[in-house]
Each structure stands twice: as structure tokens, then as C-alpha cells.
A and B are shown apart, each in its own frame.
Chain A
Amino acid sequence: MDQFKHILDTFFFAIFPYVTIFTFFMVTIQRYRSKAYTYSSLSSQFLENKQHFWGMVPFHYGIISVLLAHFIWFLVPETVLWWNSIPVRLYVMEVGMFIFGLMTFIGLLNIILRRRNNALAKIVTSKADWVVLGFLTVQVVTGLYTAYFYRWGSSWFAASLTPYLWSVIKFSPDLTYITAMPFMVKAHIVSAYSIILLFPFTRLVHALVVPNPYLWRKSQVVRWNWNRKTIRNPKNNS
């Protein structure tokens, strides 16, 4: 039995991560190079506008906050542990993050209901969308479960998961902490890897094309069919 558990752990936490990350990079880059056309948020707001708000807004604000928190935990675990050393701060942080998690969940629920019940939104919902929504649900539910039932989820992350994630990145996966984790935490991690694996094959890629250049580009865009620099250069037009 232990042998079997060991094999499973090794597969999911030492091999699977590399499969997903490798696929992620290969396919997203290849897809962008050969089929940039398919990088789109594929918005369905045009077809249904009201439920759209109650799905999209809480979901995106929720998931972006939660993902950002995960990233901070991963980058500066010591700071997180220092912050959590005073109970009041720990409570504030845990409750805050839990609220963002709930927002994500409510948004996700609305998205699922909208895509299931609205005849127009249904038309533009592909099978891949349902797979994504399914995995996201597992991800959010296991995350919320961990946050609610394991009261120091956040310190746990900083002290045990961050070293594991770093070990994966350094190509020497260390499963010491992982093997002892409760099932829900493990499920959360495996589902996260699965989403990374799904990422390049689904609409999730729209997250990679957030339009940040808009913030610093000029308001008008002109494309020339001649080289403006040489033509406008006075040296060429004596």
C-alpha cells in the first residue's frame, strides 16, 4: 500500500509537474506563433449581458487576487510567516483571502449557470469550456475547503509548499512535505497542474494576452505601407 502511495506521489508531484510545465510552454508558444488568431477572450457578453456581470466580475477579481496571493507566498514565504506570527494579522489575512476565494466561487457558479441555462450563451460554449469550468470548480472548492478546515493554510503554504515548489523549479523535486499533506491539499495541487496542462489547449490563453501595452501607447495607431523613417528623413528628400 505504501509502495503504491509512493508511486502515486512520485507521479503526481515529481513527474506530472514537468509534463504540464513543458507542455504549457511548448504549446502556448507554438499556438501563438502559428495560430495567434485563436488567442481571444471569446467574450459572450454580446449575447447575454446581465448574468455576464455577476459571473465575470466576481470571478476575475477573485481569481486574480487569489493567484496574486499564491504568487507572493511562493516568492516571499518568510514575510508571510512573519506577518502570520501575530494572530490578529493572521485572522485578517485568512478572512480576506477566504472572501476573495468565495467571490471566485460565486462568479464561477454564475458562469456555469449562465452557460447552462441561457440559450444564446450555450451556443458559444464548447466542450473545452466545460472541461475548464469543471477543473476550475475542483480547484476553487478544494482551495476553499483547505482554507476553511485547515486553519493555518497560509502558514502551511509558506512553510511547506513553497520549499516544494522551489524544489520543482530547481529540478530536484523534494516530496518530504507533500507526502504528509491531507487529501484535499493534494487534490488542490494536482488540479492546479492539470489546469496548467489544459491552459494552452483552451480559452485560458487569453490571460497571456492582457493588453498591458495599452497603458503606454499613443491613442492613435497608424500602420504604413512605406517606411516612414526613411521617407520622413530630410536627408533622403533634399
Chain B
Amino acid sequence: MDIRSQISMVFHLDKCIGCHTCSIACKNIWTDRKGTEYMWWNNVETKPGTGFPTRWEDQDKYKGGWELVDGELKLKSTSKSKTITNIFHNPTMPTMDDYYEPWSYKYKDLFDAPAGDDQPTAKPISMVTGDYMDIEAGPNWDDDLSGSPIYAENDINLDVLSDEQRDQLFAIERLMMFYFPRICNHCVNPSCVASCPSGALYKRGEDGIVLLDQERCRAWRSCISACPYKKTYYNWNTGKSEKCILCFPRIETGQAPACFHSCVGRIRYLGVLLYDADKIEETAKHPDHELVDAQREMILDPFDENVIREAKKNGISESTLKAAQESPVYKFVKEWGIALPPHVEYRTLPMLFYVPPMLPVMSAQEGDSVRSINEEYFPDFDKARVPIKYLASMFGGGNESHLRYVLKKQSAIRAYRRALTVGDIDVLEAEKALVEADCNPEEADKIYKLTSLCTFEDRFVIPPSHREEAIEMMKDPLEHKQEVGFGFNDSPERGM
């Protein structure tokens, strides 16, 4: 066993209200520089929708992630030989057109315009060229199903549905949507890292955060196509790629990343998972429908004595182990099994998990009455407005059973809570339903509390990062303490 610790995340989609506060928090801190204006390390998408960059899930076009060829894991976009031939021109690289051309407005005109009959306007100007431009696309152009015929209908996950199901989905009375906030998944088997010719991308051993060494990046652009989630971005100004750093300077000082911290719906959880690095390859080689289970299998029980012993042997500190035991992510993913990885079929083993949304059940079918919880404890998920197949395509590697499990458990807990608080459901019946959903009153209580009443401390369990030990490798920590902050830094100036 080679036990490693990983800072992992859970996003509870039922709680996301699509406000983009996370995106703005991230943008203000990290991507407000020249060349990064178009980047959204954190973005919120409306599903069904094509996302950002447009149709990023279409791996026939972008060739992101891994594929299984004769039992071997191969990068879809590149290989050692293809790296040589594609280094001059990357055939699957998305360009600015696939994202959008960032713009601002010429606000000065509002002040300088001569007096006249019309109101002065601030014309849009490109943040790349500085010229006037016509705005054609933005980072969330398909927000709240806007432009559905162009965007929502082109969602690649709808391909698993029959034509009839597809048509129904866009009928007015069936219309539905949910939000899908995305950041870098800090994968355990990252394809961006595997594709980087310069070795600039790496995973931090101590916490698994995937970073991109700006000094080593040579703009070969392999990571841009290799990341199936399109979460590495090319800075056209500095000639370097950049990506979400999970706000590691904040994590190292015990604060949650900005997008987590600012989350209005409190949908985000962050904590440590322990996993067995010897099993990475084997895990990623499972067939699509087994991947969710295989990934869960790879995640280890932090209470197991054997795991604790092996973890300590591997240099994982006591404090990290304690954080792993208190990790909300461990509870959601492993104990309760209600958080699922996004597009696990890309085989990068993402370490950001989603609690899939409880989508409204069809009501139009039964006249104008809404199905009452009294009649049935479990709504018929097959009659839900969104076909369960669609959700399974996003969160189950095509395996619908995971989605059924999560939705069943969630609705049983709701019924149980309703029995306790509203009282129009028989508690005993509700408890029976819990058992049927592989749950029990204690677990239901815990899930309810962590979902609804969670504080900062419940949601973010951040272990000390022990950077002082990292310094020890290089120099005397006391000497470092006296010197830190002195010296010179080069500004990130583009080469000539």
C-alpha cells in the first residue's frame, strides 16, 4: 500500500442556486490579469447546456481524458510519438472562439461625449485587441437555459436519450434545469499531468493539489486538450498555461478556497480523503459502469488501524489523519455513498464529487395536481422530468443504479424529516422507507445536519499543511524564518 492524502471536494447540487458568486470570487483573486480575462477557473453551468468552453464534454472533438486500448490506459489526445508530431500544431486545441473574446466597455465615452439629443453609450471593446467589437459569446451564454435551441439542445449528455425523450425534455411543461458549478477536479490520475511534455504539471504529494509550474511551462499546449474537463487554460499573453490552484495559499493557512468560502448556497464541502496510490492504474482500467465503485474502493477508511499504520509509514502526519476522520467528503462519498464523480468515464479519477440534484417529478401527467408525498414515499424516478439516463451520463459513467441509489436515499431522508417536522407522514412508515433506501434514522439525521445546518467548521475540514517540513528539506527553518520576505521576484513578463 502506498497511502496518500488528497484534499477532496463535494458539491451539493441541490443547494446550488446558480448565483455565480464562486466564479466572481475566483476571478477577482486569480484571473483578473492580462491574458487571463477569458479564464474561469471556477464556472457555473446550466444543465442541460453546452458549458464552457462550448461542448467541452465532446471528447470526439477535444480528445480529453484517457481511453482503454487493449487493456492499456492511453491518453486520447496525445502519446509519446504524437507529442513529437503535434508539438508545432495541436490539432485538438480549443481556441478563443470556443471560449469567448473577453471585453470591457469604453466607459470614458460616457463622460467625454459632447452634449446631444441621445444618451451616450459605452461601446464594448475587446480586452485582447483593444478595438471595438461585437459581443458574440460569453462564458455563461447559456445561463438559465437561455438560447436553448442553440445551447441546451446541443448538450452532449442528451445523446444517450431517445429522440422522443429529447423532444419531451424541451416541451414547455417538462422544462427543467439545474446548475453545475465546476472547478479543477484535482484528479488522482490527471491526464493534464500525463500529457505535459515539459513536466510542468504536477500533483503535490502531501495534499494532491494539481499545480502548473510557471517556470517550467513552455506553451506546448498539450494539457489544454488533454484535460477532459477543460480546466487548464492558456494565457495568451504570458505564453504559459494556468489552472485552478485550489487557492493553496489559503488552504495552507487553514482557510477554505475563495469559491468555497464565498458560496452562498453553502453547497461546497472540502476535506481529506486517503487513497491507495498503488491502485490508481488498476482502478482507472475498470469498464465504464464499474468506475464509480472502483474509485470508491480505492478510497480508504481513515479509522482502519492498518490504514493508519501504513499512512504514518508514508509520512502522513497525525493531524492529516485526524482531518481525514472528520472529513465531510469521506462521509458523503464513502459512508453515505451519495456523492458521485463527474464524467468518471474519462478515467482521470476526479476528486471532486457531486450530490446529484433531486429533479422535479412530472406533474403535468396527472392534470394540475402535484404528486403528494403521502401517497408514495419514493417518487417514480423514471417519471422525473429529466431522464435518469441523462444524470447517469454525467455522474454515473452511464450506470443508472448509482443515481437511483442517491435519489432514493435523498427522498427517503426528506420524507423522514417531513415526518419529524411537519408531521403529516407517519414516522414509522418514513423509517421503513429509510431502511428501504439503505439508510437509517441516525444516518438520516447526520446527512440532514451536514446538508442543512452545516457551519464553516463542518463543511471545511482543512488539515495543517506542514510547510515548515518542506522548508527543512532545503534549509534551516530558523534561518528561513528570518529571511522570508526578502529577495527579488521577477514579474511574469512575456519572453521576447
B95's contact among A35, A46, A219, A221, by CB below 8 Å, is which?
Answer: A46
Across the A-B interface, the 6 shortest Cβ-Cβ residue pairs: A211-B197, A38-B495, A225-B470, A224-B205, A42-B239, A231-B315
Report how far A52 CA is from B221 CA in the complex, Å: 14
Tell whether, in the assembled complex, residue A209 and residue B218 are in contact, meaning their CB atoms are under 8 Å apart: yes
Q: Are A45 and B89 in contact (CB under 8 A)?
A: yes
CB pair B496 A222 closer than 8 Å: no
A5, CB-defined interface residue at 8 Å = no
Q: Judge whether B199 and A56 touch: CB under 8 Å.
A: no
Residues from 179 to 238 in A contacting B, C-beta threshold 8 Å: 201-203, 205-206, 209, 211, 213-215, 217, 219-228, 231-232, 237
| In contact, B88 and A56 (Cβ under 8 angstroms) | yes
Task: Check if A211 sits within 8 Å of B220, measured CB to CB.
Answer: yes
Partner among B221, B315, B467 whose Cβ is within 8 Å of the Cβ of A228: B315
Instruction: List the B side residues contacting A41 at CB < 8 Å.
Output: 218-220, 239
The reply to whether A37 and B215 contact each other, CB–CB distance below 8 Å, is: yes
Give 28 CB contacts A-B under 8 Å.
A35-B495, A40-B217, A40-B239, A40-B495, A44-B236, A45-B89, A45-B93, A46-B93, A52-B89, A53-B89, A57-B89, A119-B129, A122-B129, A123-B129, A128-B496, A203-B496, A211-B83, A211-B87, A211-B198, A220-B193, A221-B193, A221-B203, A222-B202, A223-B203, A225-B467, A225-B473, A226-B206, A228-B315
Partner of A220, one of B189, B221, B313: B189
B493 within 8 A of A: yes
Say whether, besides A224-B206, A225-B470, A43 and B221 are in contact (CB < 8 Å): yes
B234 surroundings in chain A (CB, below 8 A):
43, 46
The answer to whether A226 and B197 have CB atoms under 8 Å apart is no
Distance between B200 CB and nearest chain A CB, rounded to angstroms = 9
Given A39-B495, A128-B496, A231-B315, 8 extra CB contacts under 8 A: A38-B495, A43-B221, A46-B93, A123-B128, A123-B129, A126-B494, A223-B203, A228-B205
Q: Are A40's CB and B240's CB within 8 A?
A: yes
Given known pairs A38-B496, A123-B128, the reply for A221 and B201 (CB within 8 Å) is yes
Q: A49 CA to B96 CA in the complex, in Å?
A: 9
Contacts A124-B237, A220-B194 given: A37-B492 contact, CB under 8 Å? yes
Per-residue CB contact flags for chain B residues 50-94 toward chain A (1 = under 8 Å, else 0) read 000000000000000000000000010000100100011110010
Complex partner residue of B219 from A42, A217, A227, CB under 8 angstroms: A42
For the side of the interface on A, what is the size category? 35 or more
* From B217, B236, B496, residue with most partner A Cβ within 10 Å: B496
Q: CB-defined interface of A1-35 with B at 8 Å, one 1/0 digit per residue?
A: 00000000000000000000000000000000011
Distance to closest chain B CB from A25 (angstroms): 18
A65 to chain B: closest CB distance in Å? Answer: 13
Chain B residues in 8 Å Cβ range of A124: 236-237, 239, 494
Contact A232 B203 (CB under 8 A): no
- B214 CB within 8 Å of chain A: yes
- Chain A residue nearest to B73 (CB atoms) is A219
Which residues in B have some Cβ–Cβ distance to A below 8 Å?
A: 75, 80, 83, 87-90, 93, 95-97, 128-129, 131, 189-190, 193-194, 196-199, 201-206, 214-221, 224, 234, 236-240, 280, 312-315, 466-467, 469-470, 473, 490, 492-496
How many angstroms between the C-alpha atoms of A37 and B470 in the bound complex?
23
List residues of chain B with CB within 8 A of the CB of A46.
Answer: 93, 95-96, 221, 224, 234, 236
A36 within 8 A of B: yes
User: What is the CA–CA distance of A232 and B311 in the complex, to the nearest angstrom?
Assistant: 11
Q: Name the residue in A45, A60, A228 with the highest tally of chain B Cβ atoms < 10 Å from its Cβ.
A: A45
Q: Mark A residues whose CB is within 8 Å of B.
A: 34-49, 52-53, 56-57, 59-61, 119-120, 122-124, 126, 128-129, 201-203, 205-206, 209, 211, 213-215, 217, 219-228, 231-232, 237
Residues of A within 8 A of B314 (CB): 231-232
- Interface centre among A128, A201, A223, by most chain B C-beta atoms within 10 angstroms, is A223
Which of chain B's residues have a CB closer than 8 A to the CB of A237? 312-313
Q: Is the CB of A47 within 8 A of B96?
A: yes
Name which of A40, A59, A206 has the most chain B CB atoms within 10 A of its CB: A40
A48 to B221, CA, bound (A): 14
- A-chain residues with CB within 8 Å of residue B313 when the two chains form the complex: 232, 237
Q: How far is the CA of A222 from the CA of B199 in the complex (A)?
A: 10
CA of A42 to CA of B469 in the docked complex: distance in angstroms? Answer: 36
Closest residue on chain A to residue B492 by CB atoms? A37
- Residue pair A225, B206 in contact (C-beta under 8 Å): yes
Across the interface, B205 reaches (CB within 8 A) one of A35, A201, A214, A222, namely A222
**Contact call B221/A217, Cβ cutoff below 8 A:** no
User: A226–B315 contact, CB under 8 A?
Assistant: yes
CB nearest neighbor in B for A50: B95
* Most A-side CB within 10 Å, residue of B204, B219, B492: B219
Q: Given the complex, which residues of A lie within 8 Å of B201, measured CB to CB?
A: 221
Q: Which residues of B contact A213 (CB under 8 A)?
A: 199
Residues of A within 8 A of B80 (CB): 214-215
State how many angstroms separate the Cβ of B292 from the closest Cβ of chain A: 22
Chain B residues within 8 Å of A35, by CB: 490, 495
